[in-house]
Structure 1
Amino acid sequence: MDTRTALLAAAAALLLAGAVGAVAAPDAIVDPREADERPGDVRIVDTVVSPGEVRGETAELRLGVDLRHRGSAVENVTVRHRAIGADSGLLVDETTVDVGTVDGGGERTINGSVDVEREGGYRIETVVFADGERRASQTTRVGGVAALTPDYADSRVGFTESNVWPTVAVSVSEADNQTATLSVSLSVTNRGDAVSEPLDLRVLLRQSESNVIADEASETVGEVRPGRTDTVTTTVEVPANYNYYVDAALWSDDVLIDETQGVANLNPRERITANETVEEVEFAVEDFTRGSDDAADVADAPDRGTDGESAGDSTPGFGPLAALVALVAAILVARRRP
């Protein structure tokens, strides 16, 4: 057999083997164009919830959904979020994010959000659709929404919290029988990472029993560096001999940021503390008398002169009663004699 005949025989054998394989496994040979037309797969890998804009009554919950894609491109993909009350089971909010076509494999993050009320807990149900067909779903539970601070009241500056150093310190600058001038110092701490903006400090002195405002003052808290504590001092004038609650508050554009309370005890007979009133027993000298019981007897005895006799007008001797008894006895003895 020559070389040409051998090559023709080998080629014929290869064609025969290919034909047999195609018959035995018809799916082994697939047109690449047909493979691209197969629908891809989209799955939810993870969902991350973070607080967004926090308002007075409601809060925005930002949702980041990680989608994993495999296979060919998936068109008309949408992600739907539903916020459902954990206790009531009622739908609170629903949003849909239009993703479009997902292609290229790997993972991508789809951002969305829902608005909920700042109370209770919620169940966030996330569903992925492709051409209106449900492809994947996941449920995330969220609680403690009420603990979120509204954006308008979010400030890292507040009154100092310390076990020793006083947040509110009151001292008397001047005083007379009618009025007292008090110097009130308040400690403010910046717990943030940046220099604080100026704030308004307002102080009210409230009489402890009547709650009548005796005086008030306002000061500006300047810039406070991160981690630093600043002391702001103001002066008020109030009637003397009364006790007062010192109410202090920090304001930013008429928004209450923080508040604290101290006391000013100007009445020596009574004492008050923050959120508590304590009445002391009036000072009495006899409670502190030292010595034996004879000292009390001496104190109760009548005054005597230098010679030990009473300084009163009593008759010396036995007194009128003893003289009368002696007279009656003498008369009886005289009548018995013969």
Structure 2
Amino acid sequence: MDTRSALLAAAAALLLVSAIGVVAAPDALVDPRETDERPGDIRIVDTVVAPDEVRGETAELRLGVDLAHYGSTVENVTVRHRAIGADSGLLVDETTVDVGDVDDEGERTVNGSVNVEREGGYRIETVVFADGERRADRTTRVGGVEALTPEYADSRVGFTEETVWPTVAVSVVEADNESATLSVSASVTNRGDDASESVDLRLLVRQAESNVIAAEAGESVGSVRPGRTERVTTTVDVPAGYNYYIDAALFDDGVRIDETQGVANLNPRETISADETVEDVEFAVEDFAGDDAAEGGVDDGASGGDGRDAEDSRDASDDQTPGFGVVAALVALLGAALFARRRR
């Protein structure tokens, strides 16, 4: 057999073997471009922080992380959350959520939570791991946690907030040189969607200069229909000729749910006013850093409080009035005795 015949025979044999291989393994000659699968990729699309269970000292923050997955399966995915004090930089709480293998393309939400003290602000650091390797992270700042209302104090019933109509109204029923009977009425509003349950109104009447409690009273506030306002009235007896702060509070099963203040000016020469300064504190969440985060924010809340000033002074002639004048006279005598002893 010459060389040409040998080459033709070898080519024929090779074609035969190739044909047999194609029949036996049809996938062997598939275009490799059709079998290449995109490497698995997982990232954070968005994070949501919301209050969940709010207790007296602590609050649980619910964390929702939207994960986007593309390509092949990403194995052993976990999401770690850390709550870090904004001022102290100390770790407050850490939780890890096991997601497992992620093979479906698109987005999914992974829920988690952290527990923090109900004060100050926090950084919530969220990290996504795949088989122990960090793949994505997002940092969210939370402020105004102290503004969250504990569940036991969450009530839609409270004192009416008006600019003209008085929340606490005081009138004199009768009076003489020694005492006065005051009628005190408080305005209560139901801001909820359902009729309220019964709550208790408690009043403390404080003499302005001394801060001494001159009288106290209590009254039950019955059920108030949604959106309605009721006035609850009670009477108290106090020494005449003085000015008083009327401290009012609403209690639901022993829990104080609201408070306000009024005044009673019984001294014709001097008057006082209820000096109320209220600054709202708001729960705020802000994303400010992260590989996959878009910047944006909400202003943090700031806490505030009520300020009360009782620096009015009484005339020396008022010491003759029954009631608090006796206390002032005793204090003056004691001061004179101590001064005379020091001089000796």
**Length-normalised TM-score, structure 2:** 0.67
The superposition leaves residues 39-71 of structure 1 with CA deviations (integer Å, 9 ceiling, x where unpaired) of 633221111111122223322211000112223
Task: Kindly indicate whether the alpha-carbon contact (under 8 Å) linking 2:42 and 2:70 is maintained by their aligned counterparts in 1.
Answer: yes
Cα distance in 2 for partners of 1:276, 1:85 equals 35
Residue type of the alignment partner of 1:115: N
Query: Which structure has the greater CA radius of gyration?
Result: 1
Matched with 1:78 is 78
Deviates more, 1:49-58 or 1:89-98: 49-58
Matched with 1:27 is 32
Q: How does 1:51-130 map to 2 (within 5 A)?
A: 51-130=51-130
Task: Kindly indicate whether the alpha-carbon contact (under 8 Å) linking 1:61 and 1:113 is maintained by their aligned counterparts in 2.
Answer: yes
Equivalent pairs, count: 260
The superposition leaves residues 302-334 of structure 1 with CA deviations (integer Å, 9 ceiling, x where unpaired) of xxxxxxxxxxxxxxxxxxxxxxxxxxxxxxxxx
The superposition leaves residues 200-251 of structure 1 with CA deviations (integer Å, 9 ceiling, x where unpaired) of 1101112223322222111112222333221111111223333222111111
SS at match of 2:56: coil
103 and 198 in structure 1: CA distance in 2 versus 1, 3 angstrom threshold: farther
Cα distance in 1 for partners of 2:29, 2:104 equals 34
Task: Kindly indicate whether the alpha-carbon contact (under 8 Å) linking 1:269 and 1:280 is maintained by their aligned counterparts in 2.
Answer: no
Unmatched segments (≥5 aa) in structure 1: 1-11, 282-338
Unmatched segments (≥5 aa) in structure 2: 1-14, 275-307, 316-344
Question: What is the deviation of 1:266?
Answer: 2.2
Residue type of the alignment partner of 1:255: V
Residue type of the alignment partner of 2:201: L
SS at match of 2:210: coil
Matched with 2:167 is 167
**Length-normalised TM-score, structure 1:** 0.68
Cα distance in 1 for partners of 2:108, 2:57 equals 33
The superposition leaves residues 243-275 of structure 1 with CA deviations (integer Å, 9 ceiling, x where unpaired) of 222111111222221111111122333322224
Question: What is the deviation of 1:97?
Answer: 0.7
Matched with 1:239 is 239
Residue type of the alignment partner of 2:164: V
Question: What is the deviation of 1:95?
Answer: 0.2
Deviates more, 1:82-91 or 1:249-258: 82-91
Task: Kindly indicate whether the alpha-carbon contact (under 8 Å) linking 2:209 and 2:313 is maintained by their aligned counterparts in 1.
Answer: no
Matched with 1:334 is none
Question: What is the deviation of 1:158?
Answer: 1.8
The superposition leaves residues 160-207 of structure 1 with CA deviations (integer Å, 9 ceiling, x where unpaired) of 121111111111223334332211101112233333232111011122
Matched with 2:147 is 147
Matched with 1:264 is 264
Task: Please tell me whether residue 196 in structure 1 is matched to residue 201 in structure 2.
Answer: no
The superposition leaves residues 68-123 of structure 1 with CA deviations (integer Å, 9 ceiling, x where unpaired) of 22234333221111112223322221100112232322211110011122333222
Matched with 1:4 is none
Cα distance in 1 for partners of 2:269, 2:246 equals 19
Q: How does 1:208-223 map to 2 (within 5 A)?
A: 208-223=208-223
Residue type of the alignment partner of 1:207: Q
Cα distance in 1 for partners of 2:138, 2:89 equals 17
Task: Kindly indicate whether the alpha-carbon contact (under 8 Å) linking 1:271 and 1:280 is maintained by their aligned counterparts in 2.
Answer: no
Q: How does 1:245-260 map to 2 (within 5 A)?
A: 245-260=245-260
Question: What is the deviation of 1:24?
Answer: 11
SS at match of 2:272: strand
Question: What is the deviation of 1:154?
Answer: 2.4
RMSD: 3.0
Identity of counterpart residues, as a percentage? 75
Task: Kindly indicate whether the alpha-carbon contact (under 8 Å) linking 2:203 and 2:249 is maintained by their aligned counterparts in 1.
Answer: yes
